[in-house]
Amino acid sequence: MTMDSAEKDVLELSLRCPKKMKNGPCGSSFDGRCEVGGFCVWKEIYGRLKEEGKLSVLDNVLGAEKFGYSPYSDKKAESFMDSKRFVITTEIEPPKGADLSKVKRFLGNVKGVSAINVVDNPLGEPVMGPFLPSLYIMKHNIKPIYQITCRDNNIAAIQSDIFAAYASGVRDILVLTGDYVTKNSKPVFDVDSTLLAYLIKTKLANGLDFCGRKIDTKMTINIGVAVNPNAVPCDAEMIKFRKKMQFADFAQTQAVFDPNMLDEFSRQMNFHERVLVGILPIMSYKMAEAMSKVPGVTIPEDLKKELKRDKGAGIRRAKEMILHAKELGFRGAHIMTFMDNKVLLELTKKV
């Protein structure tokens, strides 16, 4: 793989990004600002490439050259996405400690979902790793979606985790770059999520580790990626999304609260049959205020106002958004209820 000067420029500039994003801005870039502070370097990279008519450079997976070329494998494992129905997924947050009772209670009562994400250290806070909770999910005949962020582990540790997860029966993995967190832990970012998706589908799938050495299994893994329809401006995010979808079997979006935003996102791509729209019921004005501070999340002002008058507005809007996603032809909805079975049931009724 040869590298032209525009690619070299992108790789050099990306070193200024706190997450070392080589394949597009992270989902937390908003209006040219960086979630860590100051300006997002991807505003400059995208602007420069556009001006020079070289945006096509971003079609390539940048950073892949140092791992050597291996062919992409389009083999698929049995997946929750095989369902003929509108797919519903949700997520669990493993315990911050060793007490799995809340997870077990949730799993004992969960209904109507095809798969459950096991989140990986949300917002950089340490919680139990996704391996054990994934085993519990499988015991309930539900597919786990094993999340891996590039923030907390280097690529050797990421591969070790994947080997163990695969041996235990996990076949759906969601790769994320991860939020930037510096609370006394050092972020790694050996790779970004685009490069990680690429390496799993070209290396592990061919029975090779990321450096091209033989491993004992050809791993057929369904890869999921994330996309943020709230990104402003959305162009660079969409270029990155289209690139990731060359390797990904499914995508889950950041929570969307504005139907017009979902319409716009829908117009800009054509992978509806592989995309699950993120749904987050906002239960109070206080929660809306707190969620607004999460990088990449945008809560419309009119929803906040409505929540001041009526606490039920969040659930109502979430329900409407699920139906809207269905009308637009999306494959399903990823519903985040913080392990509240009642709310989940309420939202999935009659979908």
Burial-class residue 204 by CB neighbours within 10 Å (0-12, 13-18, 19+).
buried
How far is the CA of 299 from the CAs of 92, 133, 275, 285, 296, in angstroms? 22, 30, 21, 11, 10
Nearer to ligand SF4, 297 or 325 (CB): 297
What value does the CA radius of gyration of the chain take, rounded to a whole number of Å?
A: 20
Nearer to ligand SF4, 240 or 317 (CB): 240
Nearer to ligand SF4, 27 or 281 (CB): 27
Site membership for ligand SF4, residue 238 (CB under 6 A): no
x-or-dash string of contact with ligand SF4, 135-174, rule CB under 6 A = ----------------------------------------
Give the shortest CB-246-to-ligand SF4 separation in angstroms.
20
Give the shortest CB-188-to-ligand SF4 separation in angstroms.
14
- For ligand SF4, the binding residue among 6, 7, 10, 17 (CB under 6 A) is 17
Question: Angle, nearest 10°, between helix axes 313-327 and 259-267?
Answer: 20
Amino acid at 75: K
x-or-dash string of contact with ligand SF4, 39-58, rule CB under 6 A = -xxx----------------
Nearer to ligand SF4, 136 or 180 (CB): 180
Nearer to ligand SF4, 19 or 244 (CB): 19
Chain position carrying tokens 């095989």: 82
Separation of alpha carbons 230 and 351, rounded Å: 24
Site membership for ligand SF4, residue 28 (CB under 6 A): yes
Q: Are strands 250-255 and 172-176 parallel, antiparallel or unpaired?
A: unpaired
Q: Where are the alpha helices (DSSP H) in the chain?
A: 5-14, 41-51, 101-109, 131-139, 155-167, 193-202, 235-244, 259-267, 285-292, 301-309, 313-327, 341-348
- For ligand SF4, the binding residue among 36, 238, 328, 351 (CB under 6 A) is 36
Site membership for ligand SF4, residue 115 (CB under 6 A): no
Which listed range, 23-31, 60-68, 163-171, 272-280, lies at the site for ligand SF4 (CB under 6 A)? Answer: 23-31
- For ligand SF4, the binding residue among 9, 11, 13, 35 (CB under 6 A) is 35
Separation of alpha carbons 228 and 23, rounded Å: 15
Give the shortest CB-351-to-ligand SF4 separation in angstroms.
33
Residues near ligand SF4 (CB under 6 A)? 17-19, 21, 25-26, 28-29, 34-36, 40-42, 180
